[in-house]
Structure 1
Amino acid sequence: MKYHFITIEGSIGAGKTTLAHLLAKKLNTRLILEEFADNPFLPKFYENPKQYAFPLELFFMAERFKQQKELLHTNDLFQHVTVSDYLFTKCLLFAKMNLPEEEFRLYQKLFDIMYQQLTFPDILIYLHSPVTRLQANIRKRNRSYEQQIPDEYLFNIQETYTNYIRQHNIKTIIIDASNADFLGNEAHLQVVLDALEKDYDTGQHFFTLP
């Protein structure tokens, strides 16, 4: 494997965790999954975003930092492959969307301190799906607190990610996941596996699924 630290990103409902599980199994890698269910502010945030955005984002950042610090800063980081279903920078991207300016400035100071202590992924896999598909996936997995997420919020997440990827010239495999079925269609998973066998320059590299 050419890449020691592979991260998967995308909007809510894009299939990040499913793909991370499958890649980790196929490649026999270490797996880091976001523990979103442990965040007690998540259901409250969807009910009252203004009141709960700051504690929500702080909790996520602290948990992600603790998790990556423990799992990635080991002696065998570069002897084993790690797959993660989130990019630590998503902390800052979501905070910028959800927090008022003064709270975001404070949050960014804390983020900068933590970010300097972590390892950046060798490659990012970004799953891009239309919002209609995202909403269908959200309904299918049936988490009660997600069922009222507005289309506009999902559009904003995608725009925030794509702007970040373009501006920072990150080495990124972008998968058109409009019809993705990584769990049920072996050919879809194989596209990703084949993509990970190649060397890339920094920037965006686009793939479609059969």
Structure 2
Amino acid sequence: MHIAIAGNIGAGKTTLAGLLAKHYGWEVHYEEVDENPYLADFYNDMKRWAFNLQIYFLKSRFSHIIKIRESNKNVIQDRTIYEDSVIFAANLYDMGLMSPRDYENYTGLFNLMSRLIAPPDLLIYLRASVPTLVRHIQMRGRPYESSIRLDYLKRLNERYETWIRDFKESDLLIVDVDKNEFIKDKGNLSAIIDKVDSKINGLFS
């Protein structure tokens, strides 16, 4: 079983991945954020480091998927490889922060990789408004995230909504984080786990 959690910066992916992994006793694959050598530079100069950052994330995500397939274990993954391409890289290109040459190179590599991987059995999408994202980002206090612009988060949210509306690659569970603050409320977490249980049982039946 492979569950992946998708959502904007600050939606709560890492927290939910850890909580679900603990509940089910499954392995968890976290997004490489603190180990990422480009992230801080990217937020200081997006245009200079956009391509480098996206290539690093693409490599990291592809490596995680290969490990998941080879392990034959039940795994929960923090963010998907699809988001790297259809959300973040596409947004950087549209904002003029990634050149046409770099974007074509990136998408060509992604398309090759995507042919070699299988989608998750279940995708959990964390839908969160910009104020909720900002609150979560401020709570975790990563210095390099302090410069994230509100319009950047808004553009990403719009892309997420477009992507998830047409997502058909696997079973889907949408969690409204504004109404289900699982980080603080165990009752909300229990409700989410019940929905995940229902989805998992449906996949196995």
**Which segment drifts farther, 43-52 or 93-102?**
93-102
For the 8 Å contact 1:36–1:60, the answer to whether it is kept is no
Aligned 1:1-210 pairs, distance under 5 A: 4-74=1-71, 76=72, 80-93=73-86, 94-98=88-92, 99-170=98-169, 171-199=171-199
Q: TM-score, normalised by structure 1?
A: 0.86
Partner amino acid, structure 1, of 2:90: K
Q: 1-side partners of 2:26 and 2:12: how far apart?
A: 19
The 4+ residue runs of structure 1 with deviation greater than 3 A are: none
Deviations 1:98-151 (CA, angstroms, capped at 9, x unpaired): 123332111011111112222211111111111011111111111001011111
Cα 1:184/1:133, change in 2 over 3 Å: closer
Alignment check: 8 A CA contact 1:22 1:183 kept: no
3-state DSSP of counterpart to 1:198: helix
Per-residue Cα deviation, 1:158-208 (whole angstroms, up to 9, x for no partner): 1111211212335321111014432432211111111112249xxxxxxxx
Q: Which runs of 5+ in 2 are unaligned?
A: 93-97, 201-205
Q: Equivalent residue of 1:8, what SS?
A: strand
Instruction: Assess if the C-alpha contact under 8 Å between 2:2 and 2:122 holds in 1.
Output: yes
Letter in 2 for 1:121: P
State the 1:82 CA deviation. 1.2
| Aligned twin of 2:203 | none
Q: Percent identity?
A: 32
Q: Normalized against structure 2, the TM-score is what?
A: 0.88
Name the Cα RMSD after superposition.
Answer: 1.6
Q: Letter of the 1:13 partner, please give it.
A: G
Q: SS of 1:197's equivalent?
A: helix
Work out the CA distance in 2 between the residues paired with 1:197 and 1:70: 24
Shift of 1:52: 0.7
Classify the secondary structure of the residue corresponding to 1:118.
Answer: coil
CA contact (8 A) 2:6 2:125 kept: yes
Q: Which has the higher helix share?
A: 2
Q: How far off its partner does 1:25 sit? A: 0.6
Unaligned runs of 5+ in 1: 201-210
Structure 2: which amino acid aligns with 1:7?
A
**Does structure 1 conserve the Cα–Cα contact (< 8 Å) formed by 2:26 and 2:76?**
yes
What is the CA deviation profile of residues 16-50 of structure 1, one whole-angstrom value per residue up to 9, with x for unaligned ones?
10000000110111111111222211111111111
Equivalent-residue separation in structure 1 for 2:129 and 2:182 (angstroms): 17
- Alpha-carbon distance between aligned partners in 1 of 2:183 and 2:58, rounded to the nearest angstrom: 29
SS of 1:108's equivalent in the other structure is helix
| Per-residue CA distance 1:58-91 (angstroms, 9 max, x = gap) | 11111111122123223x2xxx421111111112
Alignment partners' CA distance in 2, 1:49 and 1:158: 18
